[in-house]
Chains A and B, each alone.
Chain A
């Protein structure tokens, strides 16, 4: 059971980092985390 939970956590962490990378660099109008000024709709 513990091994399964670890695998799930690792996959979730890797997917999250990959998704963040895609959002920031490749998605055209992504939300910018940490911005004092939000990027809102046009």
Chain B
């Protein structure tokens, strides 16, 4: 049997989906989570059922591309996804609005079950429903109360799925019901008014409401947290605290992991039999992977805090207050969700733009979403901050490094908003978008969900990015180990003689020779080729090579540097990457990584479109090469100019 899972956004539809199919999905109150149509299969009494999870929608009349799916399927009985049964999930606390969609589906005469979800919260909010009375208003439909987050009501729902008649019922709630055409906005308006009148009549009979402590305290909190002034101050303070924590707490596990990899690499160099493959492992693979894995604590901490904010219901308030900032800049309120999603990763951010109905608005949001600092930038930011920003406190309690991290995130946000405002002037839009947002009640975070979110993000970071980093580390190692003909050997010999003439110490002489060999390897020749372009930004060719490889993914930058420096030092010393970077010198003896070059690199990474996966998704979403190319060009130009100006000012 084909079962359609329908409902307004934020009604716990994904929880019901998980409850029935056992599949784990993103569960939360963040609007627009369900963008794709998803399905799951489950069996009841040896009968297999396919549950199709439709995008959250307030009505069967679509206002965006993803909502269109619901209309297209339900109005067409010949559609391959036309359901045998519909399950409409409703938030029991907000039944008036939720019943609108249910009554529309009911009037299509499809067998339907109404799931009154979040029953626990409704009770806490002092709302209770007389279910037998509600069933009288909808003959033929089944109504069940659930708290799907914790699996309550599952048995009853399964019973109803098995027992409901699979034949179409003949009743209608709104007697003049017919599906209006999408152009008939007048007809839709009349239908909405009349339906709501009927729904209110029913609710008067079946619902009892009393103001509760929870609701009162939730309202009180909202008066502060979404306040036009305090709301932003509190949000800024929360972000500041998060970044302070990231630096304060992540340092210890990071040093531990870093130390393990440095020791492991040195141990491998000594213990493995001499040879090319041993070099590949100790100088290519281990430093490359270790250089990135060391950032697991920061990624985990960031997502721990984001999950806490989401679980508690605060993130929806952030969307609300950000909407206020976006409107004067001419952005669609619905752009808030994709932009905030992009803080985790631009890919779901770009995909979340499907909720924006106007394509020009959607295009602008897609173009600026990658400017929001994503988690892949964390390894780059934190490495460079630890390298060039002193560990000191400002104003007596603020960690300067945490403050700089906060500044980089803010810079990305401001750039995204300003560029969106500029694009808005260039691209005229036809319709004015709006954000329909429900503020969920505040609740204690469910630690299981927080743990799953953190685990999932760390797994994606390690596994998906790790595979690419591993492959790039191998290629980089090969390019750094081999050179054309006997060029590397000749360069090494020349450097040895030169070192003798200069009477360099043994250690300096070895470094000098290794550096000359590396410069004459394939990677050195390529790096030297691009050096004139990146020199004005304060970078040397090794940074240049890492910038190019990090086009695959930003965090590859760190892995690439780790591999290049490990090959340069022949992997022997058990130095941490940051120590290797600290001791890196130019020919004139000045350090490569200064405040100017470090800050320039950070600014570069705030703006640059260094992510193959995001470009691929933009190409897929816009169905053309034009937009990803435009995006890469304008972000690249912005990155270059921003880095150049930063270097000029600070050097």
Interaction A to B: yes
Within 8 A of B (CB), among A1-42: 1-3, 5-6, 9-10, 12-14, 16-17, 20-21, 24-25, 30, 32-42
Are A35 and B351 also in contact (CB < 8 A) when A10-B474, A24-B616, A40-B37 are?
A: yes
Partner of A5, one of B33, B277, B612, B613: B277
- Assembly CA distance A30 to B370 (angstroms): 20
Q: Is B484 an interface residue (CB 8 A)?
A: no
Instruction: Across the interface, name the chain B residue whose C-beta is closest to A24.
Output: B616
Q: CA separation between A17 and B552, bound complex, in Å?
A: 9
Q: Is the CB of A32 within 8 A of B347?
A: yes
Given A2-B277, A39-B36, A42-B37, are A13 and B475 also a contact pair (CB < 8 Å)? yes
Q: Does B396 contact A (CB under 8 A)?
A: no
Cα of A40 to Cα of B50 in the assembled complex, Å: 14
Query: In the complex the two chains form, is A24's CB within 8 Å of B612's CB?
Result: yes
**A37–B467 contact, CB under 8 A?**
no
Task: Tell me the complex Cα distance, A6–B35, Å.
Answer: 44
B616 and A25 form a contact (CB under 8 A) = yes
> Are B613 and A9 in contact, CB atoms less than 8 angstroms apart?
no
> Which chain B positions have C-beta within 8 A of A38?
36, 38
Task: Report which residue of A1, A9, A21 has the largest number of chain B beta carbons within 10 angstroms of its beta carbon.
Answer: A9
A26 to B345, CA, bound (A): 22
B119: min CB distance to chain A, Å? 27
Chain B residues numbered 224-265 whose CB sits less than 8 Å from any CB in chain A: none
Question: Chain B: interface secondary structure?
Answer: helix
CA of A36 to CA of B617, assembled, Å: 13
Tell me if A32 and B613 are in contact (CB < 8 A).
yes
Contact A37 B26 (CB under 8 A): yes
Q: Which of B467-497 contact A (CB under 8 A)?
A: 467-468, 470-472, 474-475, 478
What B residues does A36 contact at CB under 8 A?
Answer: 26, 341, 344-345, 347-348
Partner of A40, one of B38, B276, B470: B38
CB <8 Å contact, B612 and A2: no
State A41–B465 Cα separation when bound (angstroms).
24
On chain B, the residues within 8 Å of A5 by CB distance are: 277, 280
Give the docked Cα–Cα distance between A33 and B347 (Å).
9
B460 within 8 A of A: yes
Query: Which residues of the other chain, B, contact A41 by a CB distance below 8 angstroms?
Result: 39
- Interface presence of B464 (CB below 8 A): yes
Does any Cβ of A come within 8 Å of B278's Cβ?
A: yes
Q: Is the Cβ of B276 less than 8 Å from the Cβ of A3?
A: yes
What's the Cα separation between A1 and B34 when bound, in Å?
A: 51
Q: From residue A2, how far is it (CB to closest CB) to chain B in Å?
A: 4
Do B468 and A37 have beta carbons less than 8 Å apart? no
Within 8 A of A (CB), among B415-470: 460, 464-465, 467-468, 470
State the Cβ distance, A14 to closest chain B Cβ, in Å: 6
Q: How far is the CB of A32 from chain B (nearest CB, A)?
A: 6
A36 to B470, CA, bound (A): 23
Shortest CB–CB separation between residue A16 and chain B, in angstroms? 5
In the complex, which of the residues B26, B273, B347 has the most CB atoms of chain A within 10 Å of its own CB atom? B347
**A35 close to B348 (CB less than 8 A):** yes
Taking CB atoms, residues of chain A closer than 8 Å to B344 are 36
Q: Assuming the A-B contacts A2-B276, A35-B347, are A40 and B36 also in contact, with contact meaning beta carbons closer than 8 angstroms in the complex?
A: yes
CB distance from B476 to the nearest CB of A (A): 10
**Cβ distance A8 to chain B, nearest Cβ, rounded Å:** 9
Minimal Cβ-Cβ distance residue in A for B463: A33
Please name all residues of chain B whose beta carbon is closer than 8 Å to the beta carbon of A16 when the two chains form the complex: 467, 471
Q: Collect the chain A residues with CB atoms within 8 Å of residue B467's CB.
A: 16
CA distance A20 to B464 in the complex (A): 11
Contact B478 A37, beta carbon cutoff 8 Å: no
Known: A17-B552, A34-B613. 10 other contacts (CB 8 A): A13-B472, A14-B471, A21-B612, A25-B615, A30-B620, A36-B347, A37-B26, A37-B34, A39-B36, A40-B37
**What are 23 A-to-B residue pairs whose CB atoms are below 8 Å?**
A3-B276, A5-B280, A6-B280, A10-B478, A13-B471, A13-B474, A17-B475, A20-B612, A25-B615, A25-B619, A32-B347, A32-B617, A33-B460, A35-B345, A36-B341, A36-B345, A36-B348, A37-B26, A37-B348, A38-B36, A40-B36, A40-B37, A41-B39
The 3 closest A-B pairs by CB, nearest first: A24-B616, A2-B275, A2-B277
